[in-house]
Amino acid sequence: MASEFGKQLKISIFGESHGPAIGVVIDGLPAGEALNLSVLQQFLARRAPGQNRMTTARKEPDLPQILSGVLAGKTTGAPLCAVIQNTDMHASDYANLRDIPRPSHADYPAFLHYHGYQDIRGGGHFSGRLTAPLCIAGGICLQILGRRGIFVGSHLASVGPVSDWRFDAASVTPELLSSLCQKSFPVLSEEAGIKMQAEIDDARKALDSVGGTIECAVTGYPAGIGGPMFDGVENRLSAALFGIPAVRGVEFGAGFDAAAMRGSAHNDAYCCREGQIITQTNRHGGILGGISTGMPIVFRVAIKPTPSIAQEQDSVSLSRMEPVKLQIKGRHDPCIAVRALPCVEAAAAAVLLDLLLSESN
């Protein structure tokens, strides 16, 4: 099923951007795991719209209602179902999109695939709004992973041409990841963060948008998890990450920079430290042969510019088969990457917990 992922831990997402509600079903959670709803709400708040001028003006509290799978604050082992009510919908903003597809949106391919029956309001099931239930699932997985000494965090690695420092991939710490989660604009270099915000503001004032990259790290993940060929840790992570709307690329460790390096510069030498085998550097990003090495897992995700911009654009009328001009209405993020950080962390946490549970069964 297209809206489901996972093996031992199956996550299924449902709803549309301007429907009555969106939600998630999580099947395979271990029984007896404590769930802190306050911590979960704090995690969801990082993704929620309407936070500041850097995000869409749509106001949604994103308060999850858990319908099943939790009793007295702990998981029961039954499927967990959670829903979020949509409250701030402007469906009329999208009435003309039934006939005029938006550039770089899923409108036209969805029209072909679903023969015109798809929900076009706000992108329907293709909307970034569906990352809210993903964050419910990932936020729960983060709590379970944290009790096992595994921590996930991220920062904005770039916005447009402005770049932040990169993680020290060999020695990133849980404390650093935790501190980033507390920031309203999570960057390692405050100077870079100021320049990024100016870049986003410039795009907004120009009725335009700008893309960015997110660097995510995972500490404490045990070595030996995963498998070769087509079911490795990178494979499973990439599949889930590409489920986040606007993701355009994923790279691990040195990533594409490795293509310009020699083997002597790219190889990570092994050494022994405190009774453990580790690597002196971490250009492999914590995964070799699809299997975790025990080093921090580090990867980057490229996020495209928001395709919904207020500038007039060229499109076509599907009914008349002729070119038309399109002025997109609605409320949209000038930079999707700002709100995508917890989505990336959520997808990573869900996949990594699924892999752990699969290894233990």
Residue 361 has a pLDDT of: 72
Residue 90 has a pLDDT of: 62
Q: What is the average pLDDT across 182-197? A: 97
pLDDT 10s digits, 35-90 = 999 999 999 999 987 655 555 555 556 889 999 999 999 999 999 999 999 987 56
Has 125 been labeled as part of a binding site? yes
Dist. CA 345–CA 338, nearest whole Å:
13
Dist. CA 197–CA 195, nearest whole Å:
5
Q: Which residues pair with 159 in a beta bridge?
A: 162, 212
Dist. CA 306–CA 196, nearest whole Å:
16
Q: What are phi and psi of 67, to 5 degrees?
A: -95, -25
Has 7 been labeled as part of a binding site? no
Burial (0-12, 13-18, 19+ Cβ within 10 Å), 169: buried
344 has a pLDDT exceeding 90: yes
Q: What is the average pLDDT across 291-304? A: 98
115 has a pLDDT exceeding 60: yes
Residue 48 has a pLDDT of: 85
358 has a pLDDT exceeding 70: yes
Residue 329 has a pLDDT of: 78
Residue 80 has a pLDDT of: 98
Of all residues in the chain, what percent carry a pLDDT higher than 70? 94
Q: Which residue in 65, 67, 80, 66 sits closest to 31, CA to CA? A: 80
Q: What is the average pLDDT across 338-356? A: 98
Question: What is the DSSP code (8-state) at residue 171?
Answer: T
171 has a pLDDT exceeding 80: yes
At 97, is the pLDDT very low, low, confident or very high (cuts 50, 70, 90)? confident
Residue 51 has a pLDDT of: 59
Q: Residues 200, 334: contact at Cβ < 8 Å?
A: yes
Residue 87 has a pLDDT of: 84
Count of CB atoms situated within 10 Å of the CB of 94: 22
Q: Residues 197, 321: contact at Cβ < 8 Å?
A: no
E strand or H helix that includes residue 314: strand 313-317
Residue 56 has a pLDDT of: 54
pLDDT 10s digits, 218-247 = 999 999 999 999 999 999 999 999 999 999
Has 305 been labeled as part of a binding site? yes
Has 289 been labeled as part of a binding site? yes
93 has a pLDDT exceeding 80: no
Which range has the worst mean pLDDT, 259-273, 300-314, 318-332?
318-332
156 has a pLDDT exceeding 90: yes
**pTM, 2 dp:** 0.94
Q: What is the average pLDDT across 303-326? A: 94
Rounded to the nearest integer, the mean pLDDT of the chain is 93
Has 127 been labeled as part of a binding site? yes
At 11, is the pLDDT very low, low, confident or very high (cuts 50, 70, 90)? very high
Dist. CA 178–CA 273, nearest whole Å:
25
CA 113 to chain centre: 25
Q: Residues 134, 24: contact at Cβ < 8 Å?
A: yes
